[in-house]
Amino acid sequence: LLVPALYFIRDYIFSFLALALTAGFSVAVVIPQVKQRAHQSRLRKEGKLIPGLVLNDYRLIRKLGEGGAGSVFLCDKPEESRDVLYAVKFLLEGTGDEAAFQQECKTCRDLRHPGIVALLDWGQGLGFHYIVFDFVEGKTLDEVEEPSVKDVCAWSLEVVSALNYAHKKKVVHRDIKPA
What is the separation, in whole angstroms, between the first and last Cα of the chain?
Answer: 83
Q: Which of 83, 97, 110, 175 is catalytic?
A: 175
175 tagged catalytic: yes
Mind telling me the catalytic residues? Answer: 175
